[in-house]
Structure 1
Amino acid sequence: MITVFLLLGTNLGNRQMFLQQAIESIEKQIAPVQQVSSIYETQSWGKTDEPDYLNQVVMLQTNMPARQVLTTILDIEAQMGRKREVKWGARTIDIDILFYGSEVIEEEGLVVPHPQLQNRRFTLEPLAEIAPAFVHPLLNENILTLKNELKDSLIVKKLYI
């Protein structure tokens, strides 16, 4: 079994409901979720005039190949009404593969570990909550160290729901 970390994000509509629906779909279509971070509210990144996001990281274990995980999460996004019209635009749901075990994958349309995760507070805060000791296979640093060395000043706050 491969340990997979996924980042969920949403900034449209009932954001908490969309996160929950995404987790339920991941469990039905990929594998049971083993760990779930708290939900974090985050300023919009990249396209800063968008509504704030809710972000959450989930961990699961699967034998599904990485390409199939990607295809499945893209299907889940589409089922949940995701429209890819503007880069970094508002969305009902966004699901990114952060890590697929310790594998390094560079294929057309699939790069793992996620190439920007070490630069993004909205990714590292929830990831460090559930996997602080996980070592980034390219940077050879654990997640907590990456979070603590982060230069990103984006406001990311844990929600208590």
Structure 2
Amino acid sequence: MLISGEKMDYVNINNLEIFANHGVFPEENFLGQKFLVSAKMGVDIRKAGLSDDLNNTLNYGEICQYITDFMKNNTFKLIETVVERLAEKMLLNFELLKSIELTIKKPWAPIGLPLETASITIKRSWHRAFIALGSNMGDSKAYLDNGLKSLNCDKIKVLKTSEYMVTKAYGYTDQPDFLNACTMVDTLLTPHELLDRLHEIEKEAHRERIIRWGPRTLDLDIIFYDKLIFEDDELVIPHIDMENRDFVLFPMKEIAPNFRHPILNKTMTQLSEQLSDR
């Protein structure tokens, strides 16, 4: 996982030439054209530099072949789609790859005007997120277990989960105790895509939003996403008031004691100790 502010090394490929069949016009799909692919790939190569072992870095010959095969074996109308799908596939298939800046150029773009290239560049990477889980209806342990299983997919890797803890209800207190936990994940999803996925998992667990802070089969909340500070009508990161919620802080302290709140500038250990003192 690429930590914000951490120095990253790069393996670069510049203008790999590939003849493939992508484009809006039928002749582009049928006749094909030349594409130039460049990739700036974030990877920690210090171990490779010290060991002189190819297994500790990205094999750029293998990378070039992978890109070529992907470009030749698929057909898309938009190079926006090509570059998005290729970046995702590379991040999923090369374990050492942490981030990628990918550019695809069309030197023969059919626009009828003098042009060197038309191109698309995107930057994509793995992101570290922390998610809180809670349940106080039915078999709460089963709901948390199944929620974690549903979370763990190709674009979300569950890395570490706290012990489950029983806590009193927060806000609306006239309801059964909760079973709570926090989990640490790496994800390729954006914050809103991750939120949508959490809502899908809650829906699978028959979550109903009737009373604010009311009983629920499964509640999933994004607590942190990298060191992001973000707010809109649907999502607030870091999660509002998490520093006053023992059912978030104590599980967070268990799995990431030294993770620092990007606004409060205190670690999970420091925040949990503050809460305990109160």
Alignment TM-score, normalising by the size of structure 1: 0.91
Q: How much is the aligned-residue C-alpha RMSD, in angstroms?
A: 1.4
Kindly indicate whether residue 250 of structure 2 is the aligned counterpart of residue 140 of structure 1.
Answer: no
Unaligned runs of 5+ in 1: 154-161
Alignment partner, residue 177 of structure 2: 52
Q: C-alpha separation between the residues in 1 aligned to 2:155 and 2:132? A: 15
1:32 to partner: Cα distance: 2.0
User: Superposed, which structure 2 residues align to 1:1-40 within 5 Å?
Assistant: 1-28=126-153, 30-40=155-165
Query: 1:157: which partner in 2?
Result: none
**Which structure has the larger Rg over C-alpha atoms?**
2
Q: Report the CA distance between 1:45 and its aligned residue.
A: 1.0
Spell out the pairing of 1:122-141 with structure 2 (5 A cutoff).
Answer: 122-141=247-266
Whole-angstrom distance in 2 between the partners of 1:126 and 1:25: 20
Distance 1:86 1:128 in 2: 29
The 8 Å contact of residues 121 and 152 in structure 1, kept in 2 or not, is answered as no
Matched, 1:85 2:221: no
Aligned-pair distance for 1:29? Answer: 6.9
CA spacing shift, 1:83–1:29, aligned 2, 3 Å: farther
SS of the residue corresponding to residue 90 of structure 1 reads: coil
Change (3 A) 1:29 1:19: farther
Query: Normalising to structure 2: TM-score of the pair?
Result: 0.53
- Which segments of structure 1 move beyond 3 Å, counting only runs of 4 or more? none
Secondary structure at 1:59's aligned position in 2?
strand
> Paired residue for 1:114?
239
Whether the 8 Å contact between 2:155 and 2:188 is mirrored in structure 1 is: no
Which residue does the alignment assign to 2:224? 99
Give 2:149's aligned amino acid. Answer: E
- The residue identity in structure 2 corresponding to 1:139 is L
State the 1:28 CA deviation: 2.9
Relative contact order higher in (CA < 8 Å, ≥ 6 apart):
1
| Aligned partners of 1:10 and 1:55 also within 8 Å | yes
Quick one: percent identity of the two aligned structures?
A: 36
1:105 is displaced (CA, Å) by 1.0
189, 195, 203: which one aligns with 1:70: 195
The unaligned stretches of length 5 or more in structure 2 are: 1-125
